A and B are shown apart, each in its own frame.
Chain A
Amino acid sequence: MSGLNASLATALSGLTAEQGALQATTNNVANVNTPGYSREVPDLVSSDPIVVDPLTLGTGVTLKSIDSIRDPILESRIQQETQTQGQSSALASALSQTQVNFTSGTGDIGTAISNFFNSVNQLSTSPADLSLRQGVLTAAGNLASSFNVAANNLTAQRSSLDGSVEQAVGQINQLTTQIAQLNGQIANLQNVGQSAGTFVDQRTQLIDQLSALVDVSVIPTDNTLTLTTANGTPLVAGHQSFQLSTQLDPSGTQHIFAQGSDITSALVSGQLGGLLQARDQQLPALQTQLDTLAAGLATAVNTVQTGGYDLNGNPTGATDSKGNPQTPVTFFKFDAPPATGAAASLSVAITDPAKIAASSDGTVGSNGNAEAMYGLSNRALIQGQSPTDYYSGLVFNLGNDAASANAEQSASSLVLQQLNDQRSSISGVSLDQEAANMVQYQNAYAASAQVITAINDMMYAAINMTTLTG
């Protein structure tokens, strides 16, 4: 094919291609403020030439496709960092709530321990004084109560985290269902050679949201992608999504299951990973430390208590004054693990202030046992540390963990900010650039139109020439 008609077809291909390119620019400008939108660029290619001996003639231009501009490696880094941020954010939030239990004030355990030993010290100055004895019981009651409150708060927080885990699993299932649907739509469009840029953008946004919740690995396959957790549990394969479920274990905590397998311990990143880390590692460790402190302190006080004499000169140990066996008069009582736990169950065992064994020899004025009890405040009772030091260490470690989680969160925010800026510079719409493109396509369109006008004139001249000669 050659001649004026061929030239007309070539000019027409220019008009069509530039119109399509202008359409891409228009779409870019319209989506300049759309979150997650990747700018589109037209892929213009020369149409296959034809050979008319001895010449090879071009046949114009084809708009092969409209491609969205993305950097897959950058997307992958954003998803990874989003997972880290989700994890550190959930952990930091949980630990900051836990810290409230251990903030120094009138009702905290550290103050209650100091108050208890101070009251015992006061009693040692006047061991027969009933008001001082009552003061010791009150301080002991406050100490037990502060342990109970802290332990119960930790249990309540674990339950609350359990609820958050269930909620996160629900959100994950919703997102994986949507991603699977989009996978199907993208594959259908790409199979018929259509651009699926908008759907790919939507899917990328959903994967970002999913990354904030759970550790996701993205495996691209032909026209679609597969999502798994870091340990390989499938979440989405093509247009099919695999739902996660939660089940209560015998201890009453929610475990996460995928196709019948318990994957709870394998989830380490994303919000879910942070929630599980707080629920299954940080809080139980703290609870164990509290139990150790409560049990160690109560046992030591009980040992001293049962080695002395009460206000009436009666021994408080396992034998009475005549050597007959009796029930020892202990100061504190608590349930040893694996029952409720020492911190949650700690209570004062005696109600009568006269039963406090301040005397070491049975005389009313003796304060030997009260002094021995006060001496416990500085003795290495719990893992080589005094009760106050052990508690300080517990609070310090908690503060340290919370501060580290906060710092991780800040670092993730900084990195994510930078990565998102990079993504914007690659995939974002620049209005200046689009304005320049628009002028370029407009001019090219106008030029093609001008060519058509010229061909029209030439055809007109040719037709006139034919009429004259005819």
Chain B
Amino acid sequence: MTQPNPNDVLPLSSEPLRAACPEIAQAKRSLLTELEASLESGQRALLARDVAGLEQSSGEQMRLLRALQIFWQPGPAQDDPACNAELRALQMRVLHLGRVQAALLARGQRWLRTIANLVTGPATNYAPSASNGVPLGHRNLRASGEEEERAPCRD
């Protein structure tokens, strides 16, 4: 399998790359740096409730993830320990940012649920939604047989 040229997948990071690192490590580093920046911008968008910004950064992250999957094929570790350490530190930062993003998304989800409940109004039943789309009260009535008893009265 021929290795893809990193320049075909992504533009390289503007930061100067370690010249001593092998090309594949430089490409990984570039992708991780870009992912780090994208996660940070995603966090800012999440905090600012900027849906467009969040969508954009999520799209970037998906693209970067696909590119990283191509590069992260199992294989021998790089020989340069400094290079490995640098990549490892970058990986840890990205992992942490990913976890923070997940935590912020969970908060965003809770906030949306609260807003949805507020918008729906006080008439909404806050109990878990009834199964099969049958309203809870309706099912209870049917189960107790009250509906059948009351039906003639409606006529």
Do the two chains belong together in a single complex?
A: yes
A residues 387-430 near B (Cβ < 8 Å) are 403-404, 406-408, 410-412, 414-415, 418
B96 touches A415 (CB 8 A): no
A residues 412-461 near B (Cβ < 8 Å) are 412, 414-415, 418
Give CA–CA (A414, B95) in the complex, Å.
17
Among B43, B95, B99, B103, which residue has the most Cβ atoms of chain A within 10 A? B103
For residue A296, give the distance in angstroms from its CB to the closest CB of chain B.
30
- Interface size for B (C-beta < 8 A) is 10
A411 touches B104 (CB 8 A): yes
B-chain residues with CB within 8 Å of residue A412 when the two chains form the complex = 103
A407 touches B96 (CB 8 A): yes
Name the CB-closest residue of B to A418.
Answer: B47
A-B contact count (CB 8 A): 28
Give CA–CA (A33, B99) in the complex, Å.
35
A-chain residues with CB within 8 Å of residue B103 when the two chains form the complex = 407-408, 410-412
Give CA–CA (A333, B57) in the complex, Å.
57
Give CA–CA (A148, B39) in the complex, Å.
42
Residues A410 and B100 in contact in the complex (CB < 8 Å), given A403-B95, A415-B107: yes
Give CA–CA (A375, B107) in the complex, Å.
49
Give CA–CA (A13, B96) in the complex, Å.
62
B99 touches A403 (CB 8 A): yes
Q: Does B141 contact A (CB under 8 A)?
A: no
A403 touches B47 (CB 8 A): no
Name the CB-closest residue of A to B108.
Answer: A415
A415 touches B47 (CB 8 A): yes
Give CA–CA (A418, B103) in the complex, Å.
15
28 intermolecular pairs with C-beta atoms under 8 Å apart: A403-B95, A403-B96, A403-B99, A404-B99, A406-B96, A406-B99, A407-B96, A407-B99, A407-B100, A407-B102, A407-B103, A408-B103, A410-B96, A410-B100, A410-B103, A411-B100, A411-B103, A411-B104, A411-B107, A412-B103, A414-B43, A414-B47, A414-B100, A414-B104, A415-B47, A415-B104, A415-B107, A418-B47
